[in-house]
Structure 1
Amino acid sequence: MNVSEIAAKAKEASYVLAALPPEAKDRALNAMACALRVHADEILQANQLDLQATKEAVEAGKMKPALYERLKLTRDKLETVIRGVEEMVELPDPVGQVLSATELDEGLNLYKISCPIGLIGVIFEARPDVVPQIAALTAKSGNAVVLKGGKEAQHTNDALAKVLQNALSTVPGYPPYALNLIHSREESAQMLALDKYFDLIIPRGGNSLLAYVKANTKIPVLGHADGVCHIYVARSADLQMTKQICTDAKTQYPSACNSVETLLLDEAWPEPFKKDLLEHLVKHGVELFGGEDIAKLAPVSGPVADWHTEYGEKKLSVKQVKNILEAVEHINRYGSHHTDCILTANHDEVQVFMDLVDSAGVYHNASTRFADGYRYGFGAEVGISTGKTHARGPVGLVGLTIYKYKLYGNGQIVADYVGPNAKPFTHRKLGSK
């Protein structure tokens, strides 16, 4: 079956999914979680095949080590994903929510109701845990999906998709072709051309992937290009808190898009504090890049080649700034509008930073690694959106819904509301229907 045929069937499935009751969707989630746990061994075995091939590519210099880390699926990581699917059952159904209700006139009531987007295409690189996460999110939000993973994770993706598709087939009333997987670049290009079927494309990968997708489709695109996250250490920052947060943000999972990539130090922060912080990072395996002023504080590997750099590993750009306004200017100029943080004890500085930094996530005294749908309580996420569309930041269940207007009348016609004797509209706010 070619991509156009898959998309046509998936589109039909999306209409069925939009009307599924919450109980059916939750049953689908439980079935998927159970199947993932039962078939964990074969999924991990498939992942080992992908890891071996990727390891050889890394050793040959054809792939970055960060890609290998993103590809790795451990038993603990899989169990975390499974628990996320199970916890999604407890979340409220995002579909059918009354967002607003207005009486236009007596007996003529307008409701704004949340509904699924429809058919979503997701193109992603390396991370195979994307498959069950997105399968669960689209199931709960009533969307159909076509997934296209990178060739480096093909064995793992195939195993996951097979397990999940078989699980969904056991749920009464759940339509076939709700969850689909394609493989090749040619199929990806065909998907991007099918604007008559797809309602949204979500790329999860680097800047080149996002640029390619945007240049080759008429379908709306939701995603982020880079994760150039910053931490600004203000002059009143507590040293121990700063060491703890910066270390977590850089070393807890360096290849994540919410890992900090640039550290901005206020010139007025005490020099002994700066030396202590930077030496602490170096002891934790972080390689520093900065100018001569930074080299006087700690060992650096050289100057920063480009302030808009996403290392994806234990490397960190470091710069001193005069004040909070210079920090904000740097972040808005060189950042990726993903997640940026200020460390300070000054409330006024917090408000300035929060208001002026133009990012999807703006933090105070917390690691940038919190930028995640699971940690936000969304159950999971389809990705991070740094754009300014209907969804921004981690895109969870609500981000996979749109809305429609439902008008309930009793024979009203527009002609009665125009002309010299026009009836007036009441436009009175109502409770939910």
Structure 2
Amino acid sequence: MDSVLQIQLELAKKASRTMLKISTEQKNQALTSISYALKKHVDEIIAANQIDIDNAKANGMSSAMVDRLLLTQQRIENIAEDVLKLTTLSDPVGQVIREIHRPNGLLIKQVRVPIGVFGIIYESRPNVTVDIACLCIKSGNVCVLKGGKEALCSNQILTRIMQEATRHILPVGTITLIENTDRSMVSQLITANEYVDVVVPRGGKGLIEHVIHNATVPVIETGAGNCHLYIDKDANMHKAIAISVNAKIQRPSVCNAIETILVHKDIAKEYLVAMVKAFDGKVEIRGDERVCGMISCQKATQEDYATEYDDYIVAVKIVDSIDEVIDHIYKYSTKHSECIVTENQEAATLFLNSLDSACVYHNASTRFSDGGEFGFGAELGISTQKLHARGPLALLEMTSFQYRIYGQGQIRE
């Protein structure tokens, strides 16, 4: 193992033991200090971020991905406010999940405890650096961060600010950034079972699959977001267009943006004409043969329906039935978020009950697949697996549990 990384992981593991005893008041003090420090150092953050932006543009990064990388004064202030909101949320650590009173007098309590050391591998978005660190603090965990090289300068300044803001409150090693950009760092992190308790990959399909297939440390899979929107034959057209625009255009580079629109044949012509008008030339449309016969667009391939674009591109397909919709989603979905727009409650119920994605919607944008929007506070990512957690990975999902047994000298007969 790389010598610097080993020292970092040893400190992180040691810090995780101390974090078990950190009080809620100390956690909130640390979060308040981070929020204040972020606002205080806005100019430094923007200057560092500009280096990353300039490099990204020089390397031909798409405008949507550059936006994902960008930190403005308003975005930094929003990040700082989100950190402060965490102080208002209940501390999950120490919560009693259940009590069991045994006939022999034993009292058994199932109690929430931190998981320990989180290894987080992520791409592009520097706000994730703050989100993860602060979620870990509130849930009593320690984080070892491996961000993408495209955001290195931004991640360095954000980590330094958080470490300095908490150095008199939290143990050294609570927040760690792996600054070495060599690809081997990821492999070393995800196989460091002696130090790391769980790994969470956040990024594209390639990154996630690499971690899943190569990690020996337990993994919580945060899925790529090939999200679907289905416009049913009984859809309200105003709702259909509003949701389409929001879910595709508001922030196309995030995992809860839609990538494919499926529209019932009975409403296809009306919807597609209205969709083109609403998209106003901002979105490249790739449609099947029937779609191309109704509007001007590029011909879609099978690969298009399997692609998470993270860009102003959408694949569109006309379907004959809701059963065809369900089959299509099972074939291409990453099990993140899917939505049906309809006024037919029977169709909506069938859609919601038939799919096994982490989040399924009726008449609401998939952009709500977010810990903050669910009322959980910030989140680590959207888990698309079924164990240990599913959907937004928020504070509760970042804990495990421990059985604490209280007796008066009982022995087993």
Normalising by structure 2, we get a TM-score of 0.96
**2:396 counterpart letter in structure 1:** V
Post-superposition offset of 1:389 = 1.0
CA RMSD in angstroms comes to 1.4
* Cα distance in structure 2, aligned partners of 1:375 and 1:399: 16
Q: 2:200, 2:222 within 8 Å by CA — same for their partners in 1?
A: no
Post-superposition offset of 1:405 = 0.9
Q: 1:195, 1:217 within 8 Å by CA — same for their partners in 2?
A: no
2:178 aligned with 1:182: yes
Q: 2:223, 2:382 within 8 Å by CA — same for their partners in 1?
A: no
Post-superposition offset of 1:303 = 2.1
Q: 2:223, 2:335 within 8 Å by CA — same for their partners in 1?
A: no
Post-superposition offset of 1:8 = 1.3
* Cα distance in structure 2, aligned partners of 1:114 and 1:308: 39
* Cα distance in structure 2, aligned partners of 1:400 and 1:337: 21
- Name the counterpart of 2:406: 408
- Name the counterpart of 2:233: 235
- Name the counterpart of 1:16: 18
Q: 2:337, 2:369 within 8 Å by CA — same for their partners in 1?
A: yes
Post-superposition offset of 1:284 = 4.8
* Cα distance in structure 2, aligned partners of 1:193 and 1:282: 45
Question: Taking every aligned residue pair, what percent have the same amino acid on both sides?
Answer: 38
Post-superposition offset of 1:66 = 3.3
* Cα distance in structure 2, aligned partners of 1:45 and 1:411: 63
> Which deviates the most, 12-21 or 157-166?
12-21
Post-superposition offset of 1:123 = 0.8
- Name the counterpart of 1:342: 340
Give the unaligned 5+ runs of structure 2. none
* Cα distance in structure 2, aligned partners of 1:213 and 1:24: 33
Q: 2:109, 2:405 within 8 Å by CA — same for their partners in 1?
A: yes
Q: 1:282, 1:288 within 8 Å by CA — same for their partners in 2?
A: no
* Cα distance in structure 2, aligned partners of 1:107 and 1:225: 46
Q: 1:4, 1:190 within 8 Å by CA — same for their partners in 2?
A: no
Give the unaligned 5+ runs of structure 1. 416-433
Q: 1:235, 1:268 within 8 Å by CA — same for their partners in 2?
A: yes
**1:394 counterpart letter in structure 2:** P
- Name the counterpart of 2:33: 31
Post-superposition offset of 1:280 = 2.4
- Name the counterpart of 2:120: 122
Normalising by structure 1, we get a TM-score of 0.91
- Name the counterpart of 2:56: 54
**1:343 counterpart letter in structure 2:** V
* Cα distance in structure 1, aligned partners of 2:262 and 2:345: 19
1:298 to 295, 299, 304: 295
SS of structure 2 residue aligned to 1:2 = helix
* Cα distance in structure 2, aligned partners of 1:224 and 1:91: 23
Q: 1:124, 1:150 within 8 Å by CA — same for their partners in 2?
A: yes
Post-superposition offset of 1:281 = 4.1
Q: 1:278, 1:298 within 8 Å by CA — same for their partners in 2?
A: no
SS of structure 2 residue aligned to 1:268 = coil
Q: 1:228, 1:308 within 8 Å by CA — same for their partners in 2?
A: yes
> Which deviates the most, 129-138 or 221-230?
221-230
1:275 to 272, 277, 299: 272
Q: 1:344, 1:364 within 8 Å by CA — same for their partners in 2?
A: yes
**2:121 counterpart letter in structure 1:** I
- Cα shift readout 1:158-211 (whole Å, capped 9, x = no counterpart): 00000000001132xx21111100022233322222101110001111111112
Post-superposition offset of 1:282 = 4.0
- Name the counterpart of 1:170: 168
Q: 2:245, 2:279 within 8 Å by CA — same for their partners in 1?
A: no
Q: 1:247, 1:284 within 8 Å by CA — same for their partners in 2?
A: no
2:374 aligned with 1:359: no
**1:33 counterpart letter in structure 2:** S
* Cα distance in structure 1, aligned partners of 2:211 and 2:394: 21
Count of aligned positions:
408
Post-superposition offset of 1:343 = 0.4
SS of structure 1 residue aligned to 2:308 = coil
Post-superposition offset of 1:2 = 1.4
Q: 1:182, 1:188 within 8 Å by CA — same for their partners in 2?
A: no
Note the 1:306-385 alignment, pairs <5 A: 306=303, 307-385=305-383
Instruction: Please list every run of at least 4 consecutive aligned residues from structure 1 whose deviation after the TM superposition is greater than 6 angstroms.
Output: none
SS of structure 1 residue aligned to 2:59 = helix
SS of structure 2 residue aligned to 1:396 = coil
Q: 1:292 to 1:188 in 2, by over 3 A?
A: closer
- Cα shift readout 1:7-27 (whole Å, capped 9, x = no counterpart): 111111111111211101010
Q: 2:64, 2:312 within 8 Å by CA — same for their partners in 1?
A: no
> Which deviates the most, 216-225 or 90-99?
216-225
Q: 2:248, 2:312 within 8 Å by CA — same for their partners in 1?
A: yes
- Name the counterpart of 2:5: 3
Larger radius of gyration: 1
* Cα distance in structure 1, aligned partners of 2:237 and 2:125: 35
Q: 2:13, 2:195 within 8 Å by CA — same for their partners in 1?
A: yes
* Cα distance in structure 1, aligned partners of 2:322 and 2:265: 10
* Cα distance in structure 1, aligned partners of 2:321 and 2:327: 10
Q: 2:144, 2:175 within 8 Å by CA — same for their partners in 1?
A: yes
* Cα distance in structure 2, aligned partners of 1:118 and 1:332: 35
> Which deviates the most, 260-269 or 155-164?
260-269
